[in-house]
Amino acid sequence: AGYTTVLWDFDGHGTNPAPMPSGSGGGSLQATAEAVLADALARGYGDPDRVAILGHSMGSGVAMTFGIDHAGTMATIAVSPTGAEVTPELPRNLLLMAGSLEGRFVRNAEERLAEAGGESGDHAAGRARDLIEVPGVEHITILFSPTAHAASRDWLDATFGAQPGARNYTDRRMLWYGLGAVGALLLGSGLAPLVADPGDAAAVKPRRPVWRRLAALAVGAVGATLILWLVSLAGVELHQMLGLLVGGYLLIWFGIAGVLSLLLLWVWPGAPEPRALLGGLLAFAVLWLGAGLLAEWVWLPWLLIPRRLLLWPLGIVLTLPWFLAAGETVRGTGLGGRAGWWLAHTLVLAVALFLALQLSPSLGYLILILPMFPIIIGLHALAAAPHRGSWPFAISGALFVSWMLLAVFPLQ
């Protein structure tokens, strides 16, 4: 579109090793944005008199506050907006966007628009205001919506004028990302026979009744939520566990839920056979490359910095019991059975973590990843499906999910 675009990792996010200060609100994030602009201008990027800022979710609050504090900012775009003290004058040329499937943020956007004086098209005076409800998307998928992309570009063009050399462009990276993930899964399925043991005794070992397997997962999940809630009553800050904002809570939650579920199943598989270990590592490699590394070029900083990587072994140990219990529930089932258990697994996680949100509001970040759990669990189920027994399922799930949680959540 012809614009110089500068992106950065806030403190505690992505590859930025500086911790995100606890209880600072948006102050530290605002300071980061200001430092980035100063550094960009010092490097000769862009024109200090022609600046715009765009932010999503938490970043939307930073963007709006930045546009208020820096009155020379010519346009502010807030996607899935949170809160800010907007007025009819500031920030200048304010565009609000929210997905039709994220009702809470639509309401936030409507409130911000009313506070900003309602709709207006006066870009020249800096008084333009608008709200666009993007159809069919929620808090995550709005980031990949061509409608949202086009609306942002049109707003900037209305403010600054079309840029010299600009060309039409539709971002199709998510399509290629999806094809890459499918290709990795197919490659993993093709390689699976090289490590699979057709006589694996774990696949024919007697299984618990369906009701007991489902009850074990459900009671373990809800039990972990209640145990950690009781711990919070003793003064433990759940959202700061292991030095990760909410991510540490999830890792410990998986550990407690997994141990409880295994006890209720009254089963603990013996040590994994070499082929089971290789199968788990192969399924993890498929996920790490196809769903993880490819994301580095599209939407998610996937490669862990040292401080995050040091937590990975602990994360594996904590998540392993849950995926071992879940592996026992799907062991020996066919394609239809695995689809049913994927749905059950997703519902159990959603209910237990939604309960955690109700009991402990400080875990509010959970709402951001809850919509992703069906996809994460589904991708893992597909990658582990060619491998028999509960150990390949458990090893690949623990390695992949612990890595993902460490990549996503901010450092404290």
Phi, psi of 55 (to 5 degrees): -145, 150
Decide if 35 contacts 195 (C-beta within 8 A). no
What digits encode the pLDDT tens for the residues 160-175? 999 998 998 889 899 9
What digits encode the pLDDT tens for the residues 125-137? 999 999 999 999 9
> In which order are the strands placed within the sheet that holds 75-79?
52-56, 75-79, 94-99, 129-134
Q: Which of 78-87, 195-204, 214-223, 268-277 has the lowest mean pLDDT?
A: 195-204
Residue 195 has pLDDT above 90, yes or no: no
Q: How many CB atoms lie within 10 A of CB 293?
A: 15
Q: For the residues 282-298, what does the mean pLDDT come to?
A: 94
Using alpha carbons, select from 3, 13, 138 the residue that is nearest to residue 75. Answer: 3
Q: What is the pLDDT of residue 203?
A: 47
Q: How many helices (H) and strands (E) does the chain have?
A: 14, 4
Chain mean position to CA 200: 36
What digits encode the pLDDT tens for the residues 341-353? 889 999 999 999 9
- The number of CA neighbours under 13 Å toward the Cβ of 218 is 11
Two tokens at 134?
């993007």
Two tokens at 198?
């057709």
DSSP 45-95: -S-TTS-EEEEETHHHHHHHHHHHHSTT--EEEEES-------SSSSSSEE
Two tokens at 209?
């009744």
pTM for the whole structure: 0.90
Q: For the residues 190-208, what does the mean pLDDT come to?
A: 68
Phi, psi of 94 (to 5 degrees): -95, 120
Sign of CA dihedral 319, 320, 321, 327: positive
Cβ neighbors of 33 (< 8 A, separation 6 or more) are 8, 53, 62, 63, 66
Q: Of the spans 126-130, 140-144, 213-217, 243-247, which averages the highest pLDDT?
A: 126-130
Two tokens at 189?
């399925």
- Bridge partner residues of 99 (DSSP): 134
Q: For the residues 189-208, what does the mean pLDDT come to?
A: 70
Two tokens at 244?
């990760």
Residue 209 has pLDDT above 90, yes or no: no
Phi, psi of 86 (to 5 degrees): -75, 155
For residue 120, give the DSSP letter: B
Sign of CA dihedral 305, 308, 313, 318: negative
Using alpha carbons, select from 408, 395, 242 the residue that is nearest to residue 322. Answer: 395
* Distance from C-alpha of 110 to C-alpha of 19, rounded to nearest angstrom: 33
Phi, psi of 130 (to 5 degrees): -160, 155
Decide if 281 contacts 289 (C-beta within 8 A). no
What's the whole-number average pLDDT of the chain?
91
Q: Which residue has the tokens 């790490």?
A: 288
Decide if 104 contacts 122 (C-beta within 8 A). no
Two tokens at 157?
């063009």
Q: Which residue has the tokens 């409608």?
A: 147
For residue 364, give the DSSP letter: T
Burial class (CB in 10 A: 0-12, 13-18, 19+), 205: middle
Q: For the residues 283-300, what does the mean pLDDT come to?
A: 93
Burial class (CB in 10 A: 0-12, 13-18, 19+), 147: middle
Phi, psi of 329 (to 5 degrees): -70, -30
